[in-house]
Structure 1
Amino acid sequence: MAIKDKVLVYGAGGVQGGAVASKLLKEGYAVHTIVRNSDKAAQLQEQGITAFVGDLSDAGSLTPAYQGVSKVFLVLPVDFDLERNRQFIRNTVDAAKEANVKLLVFNASGFFTDDVTGVAAYDIKRELIAYVKQSGIPSIILQPTLYMENFLIPGVVDNQTLAYPVPADFAITWISMEDAAAYSVYALNHPELAGQTLPIVGPEALTGNQLAEQFSAALNRNVQFYSLPVEAFQEALSPVLGKESAVGLADSYKWLGLNTHLLPKPEQVSDELRSATPGTPLKEWVKQAVQNGFFTPVAG
């Protein structure tokens, strides 16, 4: 297979970036990435990814990874410190500009409006996007809704309960990270979309009760939806993610609960994009999660 362009994929050692890197390799692209240590670099090298050791807070350490790169997929770590985020985006985007990158695809890891909300998670991302646009690099911004992988957080799906901090009666369009990666690769393959912000969503919008029905059918047991209070969600996440991240996520879900109607719907995706990225229905995603050992169905 002939090698196409070189693409720098941030986060290729994680779930989101890893899915993008895997798809690009299958399409014949050469993939670079940046990791924090040599052990992780060696693991990724075995997968065919050229990995460089660097740190988002150290601008100079990023430069080698940009050698020969024409496109960049950027996703940043979950972090609610504004100054760190400013440093991360400045270093990554400035390095791309210096390398004369032709296209930058930025997955903002969430949907939000153009209005100032007072919610750190959204206002930080808004500032980062503004910096990307001001750089002059042709760019495509991706805004996913909620990831299906959030259902894998311990305690979200229990024996007979699906507990999540969203309203029970409003239909939300969820998307899998694998499908988000498909959107990302589509964007990287279509530089003519530069200048656009694309909402990336799955093929169906489901209420909390409909989520429970889908899980019930896939797991062969009765699952009820419970609209989890945001405070309880924050308390559960704090020991896992740390207080700062737990508070930041809780604040974003408070805003989401009041503005669920603003979330994009499946019909807002263009026919061309939907044809290329049809998306995975939730029931099918749950079945795949069962096959991967994340959920245990009841035999029957």
Structure 2
Amino acid sequence: MTQIEAARVGVLCSQGAQGTAIMRGLGDRGVSARAIGRRPSGAPPNGYCADLGEADQLLVAFQGLTSLCFTMPLVYDRKTVRRYARNVAEAAVKAGVRRVVFNSNTRIPPSPTDVAGFETRRDAEMILRESGLPVVVIRPTIYLENLLAPAVLHGIETDGVLAYPVPAEARIAWLGLRDLGAVAAAVLEREDVTPPVIEVGGADLTGPELAGHISHRLGRELAFVSVAPRDFEAGLAKVLGEDAARGVAGLYHWLQRHPDSGLMSGSETQARAGIEPTSIIEWAEATWPSSSNGADRS
């Protein structure tokens, strides 16, 4: 029996940045996980290829699993997301999966909104819960790795500006992908972690405070600039396409309209999963490990 056949934990959509972080988190805990990818060209070695739109493929990929972690890809069409969630739920039930951990990609406001990025994830959560499976939802805040997007990184390293589409005064519990992986792995491995929702994140920081922490690592001052979400969306469309960019940017449009919502602040990372969040300084040191001025990234 191969290691992948012996695996009892599966990671669906394992190819993206979030799925990769979750696979790494499980590996760090010594847990052998089955990687389940969406495309033949991207399926991991000895992993399974399964399209979220094909319930039969998912059923095959889920055979023998007891726990499943599911990260929704950057899809924001409501009908499509609902179909994906139903396929995953139905296949998991038929395969005998006993527990699902769903990474919603984002925090979700308590009341319905007109934002597809929120409402499609709310739909997916509901569908998974209605399957009757025990479901733990991980709701992350904004990822620190978003600051490494080319346009943002150029501003940090060349222009002395940290430009991002959030209100400067909004307190955000910025989260590293490594911490997402660690939390997901802890929840998958420990069946005693059973809250319905875990909101994960790091320390709450305003935009200028975030810039100040990164400035400390780089050894030079950074100014925080709140970018207009429409400009952010236009740049993102060149990379992700218009539909995905619109879905992602919708979250930032909402945050600009509700700067005092507190949606992206606060964290249950340590209390619920026993994971100590990585500090911004630690993250910055890992991102710029050999440079005191940010000019030499390795």
* Shared fold (TM-score, shorter chain, > 0.5): yes
Q: Determine the C-alpha separation between the residues in 1 that align with 2:89 and 2:168.
A: 39
Q: Determine the C-alpha separation between the residues in 2 that align with 1:8 and 1:199.
A: 22
Asked if structure 2 preserves the Cα contact closer than 8 Å seen for 1:70 and 1:103, the reply is: yes
**Partner of 1:6 in structure 2?**
8
1:296 deviates by: 3.0
Asked if structure 2 preserves the Cα contact closer than 8 Å seen for 1:220 and 1:298, the reply is: no
Which of 60, 64, 72 lines up with 1:64 in the alignment? 60
1:58 deviates by: 1.1
> So what's the TM-score if we normalise by structure 2?
0.89
Asked if structure 1 preserves the Cα contact closer than 8 Å seen for 2:26 and 2:181, the reply is: no
Asked if structure 1 preserves the Cα contact closer than 8 Å seen for 2:211 and 2:222, the reply is: yes
Unaligned runs of 5+ in 2: none
**Partner of 1:25 in structure 2?**
27
Farther-moved stretch of structure 1 (172-181 vs 21-30): 21-30
Farther-moved stretch of structure 1 (151-160 vs 123-132): 151-160
Runs ≥4 residues deviating over 6 A:
none
Cα gap change, 1:271/1:146 in structure 2, threshold over 3 Å: closer, same or farther?
Answer: closer
**Partner of 2:36 in structure 1?**
34
**Partner of 1:15 in structure 2?**
17
Q: Deviation digits for residues 8-40 of structure 1, max 9, x if unmatched? A: 101222221112112323433332122244443
Q: Deviation digits for residues 221-276 of structure 1, max 9, x if unmatched? A: 2211001011111111111111112222222211122334332544x5276437x2
Which of 280, 288, 293 lines up with 1:290 in the alignment? 288
Asked if structure 1 preserves the Cα contact closer than 8 Å seen for 2:93 and 2:133, the reply is: yes
Q: Determine the C-alpha separation between the residues in 1 that align with 2:264 and 2:245.
A: 25
**Partner of 2:185 in structure 1?**
185
Aligned length: 287
3-state SS in 2 of match to 1:13: coil
Q: What amino acid sits opposite 1:99 in the alignment? A: A
- What RMSD over aligned residues (CA atoms) do the two structures have, in Å? 2.3
- Taking only the aligned residue pairs, the percentage that are identical comes to 29
Which of 35, 57, 73 lines up with 2:69 in the alignment? 73
1:163 deviates by: 0.5
Asked if structure 1 preserves the Cα contact closer than 8 Å seen for 2:98 and 2:133, the reply is: yes
Q: Determine the C-alpha separation between the residues in 2 that align with 1:270 and 1:227.
A: 27
**Residue 104 of structure 2 is aligned to residue 108 of structure 1:** yes
**Partner of 1:163 in structure 2?**
163
Unaligned runs of 5+ in 1: none
Q: What amino acid sits opposite 2:13 in the alignment? A: G
Q: Deviation digits for residues 136-194 of structure 1, max 9, x if unmatched? A: 10110111011101101111131211111111122211000110111111211232343
Matches within 5 A, 1:177-216: 177-194=177-194, 196-202=196-202, 204-216=203-215
**Partner of 2:241 in structure 1?**
242
Cα gap change, 1:292/1:57 in structure 2, threshold over 3 Å: closer, same or farther?
Answer: farther
Asked if structure 2 preserves the Cα contact closer than 8 Å seen for 1:19 and 1:177, the reply is: yes
Cα gap change, 1:221/1:271 in structure 2, threshold over 3 Å: closer, same or farther?
Answer: closer
Q: Determine the C-alpha separation between the residues in 2 that align with 1:99 and 1:273.
A: 28
Q: Deviation digits for residues 64-106 of structure 1, max 9, x if unmatched? A: 2112100000001111111211121111111111112111000
